[in-house]
Amino acid sequence: MKLLLITSAILGSFLMMPNLSHSQQKHIHCGLPATAGISGIACDLCGCYLGPDPNYNFNTAGIRYKLRRFSGDEMEEQNTSEQDHAGHQHGEEETYNTAELWSRYYLSPKLQLFGIIPVSSNLIGDETFSGAGDIQLQAKYQIFNTEVSGETKFRNRLFLGGGIKFPTGRYNIADDSGAVEAHFQPGTGSFDFLLLGSYFAKSGNLGFAADAAYKINTENSNKYLFGDQLNLNGVFTYDIPADAVTLIPYAGVYFEYSPEDRNNGATDPNSGGSALLGNFGLDLTAGMFTVKLNYQPVFTQSLNGDQPQNDYRFVAGLGYSFGF
């Protein structure tokens, strides 16, 4: 009951905030859906935070904001198949804003449950596509965790699990030309399934975190099928204890891949691909509160056909941990 009251209070405050949004679409040019086509994620794919987590063994609730930017080569406006999306030209910038209410709850010391409620506001050229996104529920089970004693110098832990993304978001918003572009929508309109893994190792103040997520997509009622999505993440962390706070900077890489989408059974040549991004951030923990900042510049990308290119991604979040 306490968890429900805290979550409801945070959600109520969140819904009253103006112009917050979420983008769970996802074309690779735009990343992975649910994180957005290939453009998706910090792990956009699963929505979980992929960095260090000092309060990992506590229940947690929080708010998270995500920003993803894409741009394309300028070219003359034309209504042909050369355009990356119907009625939209390559030179248009795309900005995907996401606001999420999320929580983690331990059913037992080894079993975690996650919930993610997103809202989106996606700016495509001079058009905006806003609305509720797709809710996710996930579960992870601790496979092993080093027993800590006074002489323990190295410790590690591994979680494996899965999840479901429900088609709760808007996915039929038409643009100015009357067309419905799947990758601009706040939701995908489909039930999708997640396979998840999370590993963390630490020796002294130095740590290493690795996460993997694979998303199995299904076809929506518009006969559109987003390509399955793979996200991999690895970062090195370092704890810097201070008087009342702990600073944890981290650095690493983030990789995502998606095959081409299918529209009415036909392959969409302007979808899918791969991208390698840097993954740099800082966690600041003060007692049961944690502030998270993350920046992901593009190192290299190979996107199929004509798609806007990844520019960068940014994530900021605030979480509160509690022990019941």
pLDDT digit string, tens, across residues 257-297: 999 999 999 999 999 999 999 999 999 999 999 999 999 99
Model-level pTM?
Answer: 0.81
DSSP state for residue 287 in the 8-state scheme: T
Q: Residue 159: which residues within 8 A CB-CB, separation 6 or more?
A: 112, 140, 141, 142, 143, 196, 197, 198, 199
Q: Which residue has the tokens 């996650």?
A: 114
Share above pLDDT 70 across residues of the chain, in percent, rounded to a whole number? 76
Phi, psi of 24 (to 5 degrees): -115, 30
pLDDT digit string, tens, across residues 187-203: 999 999 999 999 999 99
pLDDT digit string, tens, across residues 238-248: 999 888 899 99
Instruction: Say if CB 98 and CB 123 are below 8 A apart.
Output: no
Residue 150 above 50 pLDDT?
Answer: yes
CATH class of 2-322: mainly beta
Instruction: Say if CB 134 and CB 115 are below 8 A apart.
Output: no
Res. 1 pLDDT band, cuts 50 70 90: very low
Structure tokens at 1: 């009951």
